[in-house]
Every structure is written in C-alpha cells, then in structure tokens.
C-alpha cells in the first residue's frame, strides 16, 4: 500500500512560481501593523468572475467586520463598472501587472484570491509578499507543493492565511460538527457525501482546461464531498481508494468527469464520496451506533436543510455563507478569534486529492494517509 506520510510531505521542496527566491524574501510586517485598532478589514478581490460578481461582492455589502476595499482585474472595462457600483476609489483598483504595488495601500488589509486554480499559488504568495492577509478560494492550489509554498510565504511574511471554505461558517455544518463531537447519535460508523452538478454549454470554460484547473470534478465539487466526510466523522482519513468514470469523453477531454472514493478512518468508520461534472448530487448522510442524521441539500449556497432519526428537522435562518465566512476570517485577524479554515486544512484536502488521483492511476489501489498533529481538526 503506497503511503503519503508525514515524514515526506513536509519535506517537499518548493518549486516553480519563483521557488526559493519567493520564500527567502524579507518578511513584511503584519498587514494591520499600526492599524490594530481597525474595526473593519479592507478586502480586495483578485479576479472578478462570476463568484466574485454574484456572491462575494454582494456579501461584502452586508458583512460586519470586513468590507470591499479594492479590486484586481485583467479586464479594463470591468474597472469602471465595479468602481461605479461599489464606490471604489481609482487608487484601490489594480491589474495583474501592477498588483505588487498594493503593498503600499493602507486601505487594503487582505487579498481574496478568486482566480483559476493554477493561479492561486502565484497570487497568494504575491499577496503575502505585499504584507497582506490572504484568503484563498478552494482548492488551495493544484499540488501539495504549491500549498506548502503558500503556507510558507504567509509565515515568512507574518500574515494570516484562510481558505475560502464557506460551509465551515454556516450553521448546518456547525450543527453536524456538534452532533459528532457530542456523540448525539453514538459513535459514527459510516458517512456518505455527494457533491456534483451537470456541466454543459461552453466547452472552452477554464474548468475544462487542465492547465488552468489542475483537474476536473474532484478539484471543484469533490473538495466539498471530502470535507463533508471529514466533519461528518470528526476525523481525518487514514486511507483512500478511488475510481474514475467517463461517459462524455468528447466534452471532458482533459479533466475528470466523475469520481467515487472510499475512506477508512482511525475509529473504524468508513466513508463513500462521489463527485461529478455530469450529474446533480448534493447530500450527506451520517450513521452512528444510535441513529443517523443527514443534510439535503448539503453543499450549495443555501438554504440548506437537514433531518435526524429522532424526528428533528434542522432549520436555521438563512444568511449568505460568503458573508459568514469572510466575517469569520476578519474576526480571526482583528480579534484573534480561531481560524476555522486555515491553510493547513487546504493542504490536507489537496493531499487527499492527490492520493485519490494516485489510487485511480494504480487501478483503485488503497493509498495510506498519515497526517501531522497540525492536521488534527476533524472538519
């Protein structure tokens, strides 16, 4: 059984994206520095695609502890549109060439990288070098090597790093974690998690381009299924085996269409996940020794819904998940509250993704996983 172990993943050398030159740069002071009395974190969005346009920017109009302070775009015509809509000063608008000048802008405390996956590492590292806190949209990068580079760059610069894991901040997911921690339904022995949608339309979209996406359904929706399996058991997996299915090779020419995987956990619990760009699925189910609970839907933008074997219907007031997520990160920076989605979580998930791809390449062979204590969070 092949093994991704704690003895070798932390010794990965940083390659590409400037390599050691980036990590040997002189650390910048923490982004807030002399502004520790700030009541609201100024966030700049890097990449103004659909997620920034329809989710993050609107959410930043309702956040309590952070606000939209700037934008970074490679499309000049978007500059005026966003400036007019959100009253953004011209001095807070950047492009990808002058991005590094953001280091001199006290209005911007944090950078949210919302670019295609292959660009995450470059701009997270550049943001850290600029002395700005970093939020990285999922998946963290396209390899564990790049995750290490991001984490190390943020540590070198003395800035905070958070993942754009919106579900970690929403109440249904937090209730699931409470069920598991408090053993409301006994010891967990099985979890299933499905996260998928049917992709159609433009065959030239970046998610179908492996050079930009790093992978297909697994790198996109699969991260949600992996996370559900982990917080549904409260444990990190110790092994995974996986399978890939392709029914539309003419459309999914470079990226994976459908993947299923099976996990083993330290307690003896087992898990199944499925993810796809070719069918719709959005649910998680957890079985314990004294009952079960489930969420359906479990991973869309909400509202979510859930029920239990005790007859309870889970209902929480709906709020923007992105709003809750960004406020949680801002509270971590401003008030030293816990970082509920740290960079190590993103790295752990990428380790699992790489293990799944390795298992598929080896005909479904079981791949062992071994995590350092820093990966001890079960969620």
Tell me whether residue 138 is one of the annotated catalytic residues: yes
Q: How many angstroms separate the CA atoms of 144 and 375, rounded?
A: 14
Pick the catalytic residue from 132, 138, 331, 347: 138
Beta bridge partners of 367: 2, 240
Work out the end-to-end distance of the chain between its first and last CA atoms, rounded to an integer number of angstroms. 26
Q: What Cα–Cα distance (Å) separates residue 286 from each residue in 186, 268, 293? A: 11, 14, 6
Closest CA to 51 of 325, 327, 329, 352: 325
Same domain, 158 and 176: no
Q: Which of 115, 146, 165 is the last residue of a domain?
A: 165
Prediction pTM value: 0.90
| CATH number of the domain bearing residue 289 | 3.30.360.10
Same domain, 126 and 272: no
Same domain, 142 and 193: no
Q: What Cα–Cα distance (Å) separates residue 312 from each residue in 293, 297, 305, 309, 316? A: 9, 16, 11, 7, 12
Which residues span the domain enclosing 188?
171-318+342-375
Structure tokens at 288: 């314990």
pLDDT band at residue 374 using 50, 70 and 90 as cut-offs: low
Q: Quick check: 107 pLDDT over 80?
A: yes
Q: What is the pLDDT of residues 44-56, one digit of tens each?
A: 999 999 999 999 9
Mean pLDDT of all residues in the chain?
91
| CATH number of the domain bearing residue 13 | 3.40.50.720
Pick the catalytic residue from 94, 172, 224, 285: 224
Same domain, 105 and 21: yes
Q: How many angstroms separate the CA atoms of 69 and 110, rounded?
A: 9
Same domain, 116 and 264: no
Q: What is the pLDDT of residues 7-47, one digit of tens each?
A: 333 333 333 333 333 333 333 334 444 345 679 999 999 99
* Sign of the C-alpha dihedral computed for residues 316, 320, 326 and 331 taken in this order: negative
Beta bridge partners of 313: 307
Q: What is the pLDDT of residues 291-324, one digit of tens each?
A: 999 999 999 999 999 999 999 999 999 999 999 9
Same domain, 255 and 277: yes
Q: What is the pLDDT of residues 137-174, one digit of tens each?
A: 999 999 999 999 999 999 999 999 999 999 999 999 99
Same domain, 186 and 218: yes
């Amino acid at each position: 059984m092949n093994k991704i172990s704690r003895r070798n993943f932390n010794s990965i050398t940083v390659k590409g994206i400037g390599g050691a030159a980036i990590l040997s740069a002189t650390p910048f002071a923490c982004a807030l520095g002399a502004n520790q009395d700030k009541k609201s974190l100024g966030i700049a969005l890097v990449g103004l695609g659909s997620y920034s346009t329809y989710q993050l920017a609107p959410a930043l109009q309702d956040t309590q502890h952070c606000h939209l302070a700037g934008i970074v775009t490679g499309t000049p015509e978007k500059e005026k549109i966003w400036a007019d809509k959100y009253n953004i000063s011209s001095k807070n608008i950047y492009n990808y060439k002058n991005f590094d000048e953001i280091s001199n802008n006290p209005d911007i405390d944090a950078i949210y990288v919302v670019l295609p996956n292959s660009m995450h590492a470059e701009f997270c590292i550049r943001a850290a070098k600029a002395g700005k806190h970093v939020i990285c949209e999922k998946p963290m990068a396209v390899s564990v090597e790049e995750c290490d580079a991001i984490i190390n760059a943020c540590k070198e610069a003395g800035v905070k790093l958070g993942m754009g894991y919106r579900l970690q901040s929403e109440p249904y997911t937090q209730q699931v974690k409470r069920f598991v921690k408090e053993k409301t339904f006994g010891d967990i022995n099985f979890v299933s998690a499905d996260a998928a949608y049917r992709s159609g339309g433009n065959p030239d979209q970046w998610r179908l381009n492996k050079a930009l996406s790093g992978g297909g359904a697994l790198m996109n929706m699969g991260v949600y299924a992996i996370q559900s399996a982990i917080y549904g058991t409260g444990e990190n997996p110790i092994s995974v085996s996986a399978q890939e299915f392709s029914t539309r090779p003419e459309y999914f020419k470079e990226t994976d269409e459908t993947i299923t995987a099976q996990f083993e956990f330290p307690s003896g619990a087992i898990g199944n996940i499925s993810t796809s760009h070719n069918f719709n699925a959005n649910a998680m189910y957890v079985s314990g020794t004294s009952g079960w609970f489930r969420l359906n839907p479990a991973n869309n933008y909400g509202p979510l819904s859930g029920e239990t074997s005790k007859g309870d219907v889970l209902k929480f007031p709906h709020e923007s998940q992105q709003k809750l997520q960004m406020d949680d990160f801002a509270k971590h920076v401003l008030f030293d509250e816990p970082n509920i989605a740290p960079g190590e979580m993103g790295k752990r998930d990428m380790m699992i993704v790489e293990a799944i791809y390795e298992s598929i390449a080896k005909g479904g062979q079981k791949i062992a996983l071994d995590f350092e204590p820093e990966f001890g969070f079960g969620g």
